[in-house]
Structure 1
Amino acid sequence: MGMFSESVDVVCTPAGQPLNLQWAGRHYTVCAEPVRWYERRQWWAEERRAPLGSGPGLVDHEIWRVQVQADPRSTGPRDAGEPLTLDLSRHTGSGRWRLLRIHDALRPQTA
């Protein structure tokens, strides 16, 4: 599993759920139901001050785990490959998205 932080462009449904994204010059479509959760962040180590009334997004990160399939029009039909599982974070204040993790694909075990 790779872990890093890189900006991605995400298009969401009206309910705020990721629908498709653009990353590294390629377009991807969400191909399974995304899962959302929140993780605590060490805001006191990252922020100098906590402005009054800035609770949402200050203490927790909104994380989405999405499974995406590359759009063959942006990669070519042979490059579409297996779906990728990604963890994305949405910044509450700005609405910007970051790619946090790329999970290794599960490979069938041979005996």
Structure 2
Amino acid sequence: MLDVVAPAGEPLFFTWRGRSYRVYSVLSRWCESGGWWQRASTENSPENSTTSESGINDGARTSWRVEAAPEGALAVYDLERDESSGLWRITHHG
């Protein structure tokens, strides 16, 4: 499980695999849409009415490439936030 502390939207700390990591620097940030045009007809039905703050659920995700470490050597992690659900995940580390 990944738990991210991001009070202003940008990650400051995260806990992953039982260890707490401090974010020392954000190397880059990017957004990806989720191909809303492929799902538009099925998502317009009442049972699929989940939306983001903008009112549109396009499956958008925002990612941050950060340098972080629990203690010791820094490593690079890609943290991704699903804009609709607000859930975070690590998509790359190393």
Per the TM superposition, whether the score is higher than 0.5 is: yes
TM-superposed deviation, 1:42? 4.5
Residue correspondences, number? 85
Distance across 1 between alignment mates of 2:3 and 2:41: 28
TM-superposed deviation, 1:90? 0.5
Runs of at least 5 residues in structure 2 that lack an aligned partner in the other structure? none
Structure 1 contact 18–34 (Cα < 8 Å) conserved: no
- TM-score under structure 1 length normalisation: 0.62
The alignment status of 1:94 with 2:88, answered yes or no, reads no
* Matching residue within 38, 46, 71 for 2:31: 38
TM-superposed deviation, 1:48? 8.6
| Structure with the larger RCO, 1 or 2 (CA within 8 Å, 6+ apart) | 1
- Cα shift readout 1:44-81 (whole Å, capped 9, x = no counterpart): 48x9932368435x2532111111011xxxxxxxxx33
TM-superposed deviation, 1:39? 2.3
Runs of at least 5 residues in structure 1 that lack an aligned partner in the other structure? 1-6, 71-79, 104-111
Q: How does 1:47-62 map to 2 (within 5 A)?
A: 49-51=42-44, 54=51, 55-56=56-57, 58-62=58-62
- TM-score under structure 2 length normalisation: 0.71
TM-superposed deviation, 1:16? 0.8
User: After the TM superposition, which parts of structure 1 deviate over 2 Å for at least 4 consecutive aligned residues?
Assistant: 39-45, 47-56
Instruction: Give SS of 2:78's match.
Output: strand
Question: What's the RMSD between the two structures over aligned residues?
Answer: 2.7
Identity of aligned residues (%): 32
